[in-house]
Each structure stands twice: as C-alpha cells, then as structure tokens.
Chain A
C-alpha cells in the first residue's frame, strides 16, 4: 500500500511540524558506545508521529530488518559501526581460517602506514588493540560462544574501542593518500588536508567519501560487504539501500542505517525461508544423481542459483513472499554457493599482501606517492554513492535535513549510474 505519500495533501503547518520532527532527531549521546541487539520497532516508534514517509519506511524497516544495534552518537558512530560490524561478521561466519587470514591481512596493512611516513611506535598500540580483538574473536569461535557479548564488551571499553577506531582511521587515511586519484575529485579541499581534518582527528564523524575509502581500503578485500540504508524522505516505502562493495560478491554483509549525521547497525530478517525452495531443488536433483554427472548438473543448477547473489543484494528480497510450508532446512548461508557466483571477485585494488611485498621491494627506491599498482579503474559499478542525493550533515544548515524540497526524489535501487559524489 502506498500510504499515499501525497505531500500536496499536507498543509503547510503539518509540513513544518514534520520537518521539525525530522530535524530534531538526535543520536543517543548517553547510552553505551555499542548497544546490544534490539528490536527495530524502536526506530519506527521514534517516527510514529512524524512525516508519513518516514513512518512508512521505518515500519517497513522493522519487518525487513527486525533488529538493530545502536551506536553512541559521539562522533565515532560510523567508524565504530563498521569496525564492530566487521568483527561481528567474522565471528558470525565462524571460520577460523578466515579470521587468521584477516588478521594477517590487516597487520600487513601496516605497510600503508609506513609508506605515508607514520612511525611504527606511534601506531603500533592501535594495531595491538585490533590484534587483541582478533584473538578474542578467534577464542570465542574456538569456545563455541553463542553470542557476541565479548565484542560488545570490548567495544564498550573506551580504550580498545578508541584504539581500533584510530587504527581504522589511520589505515583509511593512508589508503586515500596512496590512491588519491580515486578520491580527489570528490573532495572540497586538498586530500592531505581532508585526511588531517576529517579522517584522523578523534571524534570526527565519517562522511561519504571517508566511508567509501574505509570500505575500499580496509574492509572490502575481506569479502565482507557493506551496505548503507538511507532513511530519507525520498519517494517509496523502503529505506534506500546502497552497496559500497558492489564490485565483488560478499559472503556476508554489514548493514548500516544512515540518518543525517548518524549511523547504526541493522540486521536483516533471515532469508532462510526464501532460500529453501532453491536449496531443496538442488538437493532433490543432487540426490537423484549418479556421481559421474553431478558436476554437470551442478552447473545446470547454477544457472538457477545464479540469481541468488543478486536477490540477496535486493533489500526487498522476498520480504513479501509467503513462508514456505516445507522449510526443513536450517538457515543456509549464501556463502557456500560460491561455485555459483555470477563472476569471480574482481581485483580492483592491489591486494594488500602484494603491496606489502612490493613496498619492501621499492621502499628505498621510491617515494610514497608512487602507486604500487596502476590506479584503480573507476568503474561505474564501483562508484561511491551519489553525493548529490545525500542529505547534508552540516550543522549550520539544519533545514537541509530530510527536507523534501532538497532531497532528490529517489535513489535507484540498483547500482548508481550517476556520477559519484559531487563534482
């Protein structure tokens, strides 16, 4: 039902009241740095008496993404949401080998820091803190811990939380300095100044360019996807999703809810129900197979399963679909479907392992500005979110927040095709 988002029907007074309610959204500055999981209905309740568009979208959100995790609005929320989501996802995947690979990879990124001239004794304590969380994650998987409370505790500890966030900030800054051609066009100031004033200082909230760089430089290679859901006043009944890691298929995805100036984490409803028929198909067919032709059939089946990753990327995926009466399968992670991936991961950027090696090779011969690899191709599919469509977060222009006159009507549900960011 399209709750008839008929703005014309709203009186001037009502519009002003809704705008006021939107503008008055204040992120929580009191609670814990990272909350426990809670029902997304709390978000819907915040908007129950607000603009019908926001009320509709948040009600919808509570169905598609029934749980959320609130980040303290202390200027670190976006950074903390991504860092927490990264470790939580690693824990949820429960793949010890992957955790170890990620630890090695993240530590190898020290080479970025070295190449932009940071002294090790200034950054090693941050890396130590990150390493400690890796160790705790690994231990929790080993112990078979059922929940992620160890992570919630660690991220609520001021020192380790700050240290991990600082580590990620420094990696992002170094990554941007080493790949300036990807970001420069989107900045309103020289890149070095941007890093010094918008990325590295404590408690500076992440913006769209910084978030894209954090994902590009630190998260993406892990195979973990990052998706943002924008709660804005654009047309439609769903929050507007945007995937920041769209150039490669993701084994699991961190989902962030963005409201002006603030990020929280969202958790999607388990897609189990909708996966089941497909999986059953595969199982049914496989079970009738003689071994010699299994491979061939797998291939055939794959053409059906091809759609899964794409379906998974669709936020509206199956939410309206009826519950299958025969869903005997336990939750099936999309990850094992990897043989059926649409395409292999694309190496958009130098693998950090490679750059580590090459940085050693050139460490004496080159200056930091020499790129390790050719500039990353700026493909449309890798484009960062169109900034023109994003609400401004400048505090001196409060009216821009969720202002229907300013917001673009809609962000496409598909990949962005417009020029990324602002020109």
Chain B
C-alpha cells in the first residue's frame, strides 16, 4: 500500500535528520501508524526545559487525512485540550485544511512552533487564551509550573 511506503520514508528521514528539539520513534515496532514523539519546550517559552511526550497517530487514509496529535504530557496551553486527551487540532491539522503533500516533520515543527507562539484566537481552551492575552504574567507562571511538575 502506497501510504506505508511513504510513512516509512518519512519516518526514516525524521530519524536520520530530526528537526530541532524533536525526536521520533514508533510506539510499537510493528505498527507504522502510531508514533511516539519527544519534544523539547522551545527556549524563551514557559515550556523551556520541559520534555513533552506526544502521541502522533496516522489514519489509515493517510496521506489523505491528517495525522492526529495529542500531548501525553500534561500541558497548560490555549490550543491543547486541558483533559486526559491533550488534543491539538488547528491549522494544517484540520481535515479541511490538510494537504496530502504536507509531511509529518512539518506537522511536528508546526506543533513545536505553537508552543513558542500560541494562537489564542483559535483556542480550544478559552479561559487559558483569555489569560494568555490579558494576563501574560500569570499565564507564564502557570505554564512554567505545569512544565516543571509534569514535563521534567
């Protein structure tokens, strides 16, 4: 099947030359469709020094449907659901914006960029977004605290 061929090549590329602050491996060696991703919190963000574990799942329809990205590590962020799922679904990750020529590496870089610069106007957690916009100091504090508690 074509999608497996492509996933294997994308995985190979990401393992051989990983983007900054990102490492990937298969959650289970026999299953190309579920990845475990380790992401360093970007410098200068309240997530700095945190190491976040992310579950990346490729649908069987990949690359015609986008991967799903969820934080296994608890994170305080306006674009990540503040529940046990930790889902992130915006921008290129939306099924109607997904382009089959997008690569998984770009998805992960997009997610990491989102840690550096949240998109409060496209937030899933409205309360955190409000705080991010109006009370950055406290947002930073809580995010830093969660990072220390859950991601290190």
Query: Which A residues are CB-close (under 8 A) to B6?
Result: 121-122, 124-125
A123 touches B101 (CB 8 A): yes
Q: Count A-side interface residues using an 8 Å CB cutoff.
A: 22
Q: Does A114 reach chain B (CB closer than 8 Å)?
A: no
Task: Give bound CA distance, A143 to B37, whole Å.
Answer: 50
Q: Does B44 reach chain A (CB closer than 8 Å)?
A: no
Q: Does B122 reach chain A (CB closer than 8 Å)?
A: no
Task: Give bound CA distance, A125 to B6, whole Å.
Answer: 7
Query: Which A residues are CB-close (under 8 A) to B100?
Result: 126, 162, 166, 200, 202
Query: Which A residues are CB-close (under 8 A) to B10?
Result: 121-122
Q: In the complex, how many angstroms separate the beta carbon of A123 from the nearest chain B beta carbon?
A: 6
Q: Does A151 reach chain B (CB closer than 8 Å)?
A: no
A202 touches B65 (CB 8 A): yes
Task: Give bound CA distance, A200 to B98, whole Å.
Answer: 8
Q: Mark A118-135, 1 if CB is under 8 A from B, else 0.
A: 110111111011000000
B99 touches A202 (CB 8 A): yes
Q: Does B97 reach chain A (CB closer than 8 Å)?
A: yes
- Contacting A196 at CB < 8 Å: which of B65, B99, B103? B99
Residues from 1 to 36 in B contacting A, C-beta threshold 8 Å: 1-3, 5-6, 9-10, 13
Task: Give bound CA distance, A200 to B100, whole Å.
Answer: 7
B98 touches A122 (CB 8 A): no
B2 touches A125 (CB 8 A): yes
- Contacting B97 at CB < 8 Å: which of A162, A170, A201? A201
Query: Which B residues are CB-close (under 8 A) to A150?
Result: none
Q: Does B117 reach chain A (CB closer than 8 Å)?
A: no
A125 touches B3 (CB 8 A): yes
A128 touches B99 (CB 8 A): no
Query: What is the chain B residue whose CB lies nearest that of A195?
Result: B99
A129 touches B2 (CB 8 A): yes
Task: Give bound CA distance, A197 to B22, whole Å.
Answer: 28
Q: Does B84 reach chain A (CB closer than 8 Å)?
A: no
Q: Mark A368-391, 1 if CB is under 8 A from B, else 0.
A: 000000000000000000000000
Query: Which B residues are CB-close (under 8 A) to A166?
Result: 63-64, 100-101
Q: Does B83 reach chain A (CB closer than 8 Å)?
A: no
**Interface SS of chain B: helix, strand, loop or mixed?**
loop
B101 touches A121 (CB 8 A): no
Task: Give bound CA distance, A162 to B60, whole Å.
Answer: 13
Query: What is the chain B residue whose CB lies nearest that of A203?
Result: B96
Q: In the complex, how many angstroms separate the beta carbon of A120 from the nearest chain B beta carbon?
A: 9
B99 touches A200 (CB 8 A): yes
Query: What is the chain B residue whose CB lies nearest that of A163?
Result: B2
Task: Give bound CA distance, A119 to B65, whole Å.
Answer: 19
Query: What is the chain A residue whose CB lies nearest that of B104?
Result: A122
A121 touches B9 (CB 8 A): yes
Q: In the complex, how many angstroms separate the beta carbon of A133 from the nearest chain B beta carbon?
A: 13
Query: What is the chain B residue whose CB lies nearest that of A204?
Result: B96
Interface centre among A123, A125, A126 (most CB of B within 10 A): A125
Query: What is the chain A residue whose CB lies nearest that of B8?
Result: A121
Residues from 152 to 181 in A contacting B, C-beta threshold 8 Å: 158-159, 162-163, 166, 170
Q: Mark A222-242, 1 if CB is under 8 A from B, else 0.
A: 000000000000000000000
B2 touches A122 (CB 8 A): no
Query: Which B residues are CB-close (under 8 A) to A162?
Result: 61, 64, 100
Query: Which A residues are CB-close (under 8 A) to B2?
Result: 125-126, 128-129, 159, 163
Query: What is the chain A residue whose CB lies nearest that of B103?
Result: A122
Known: A121-B9, A125-B5, A202-B65. 5 other contacts (CB 8 A): A125-B63, A158-B61, A196-B99, A202-B99, A203-B96
What are 9 A-B contacts with C-beta separation under 8 Å?
Answer: A121-B6, A121-B13, A125-B2, A125-B63, A128-B2, A170-B101, A201-B96, A202-B64, A202-B65
List 9 tightest A-B contacts by C-beta distance, closest first: A125-B2, A121-B9, A200-B99, A166-B100, A162-B64, A125-B6, A122-B101, A202-B64, A201-B99
Name B's A-contacting residues (CB within 8 A). 1-3, 5-6, 9-10, 13, 61, 63-65, 95-101, 103
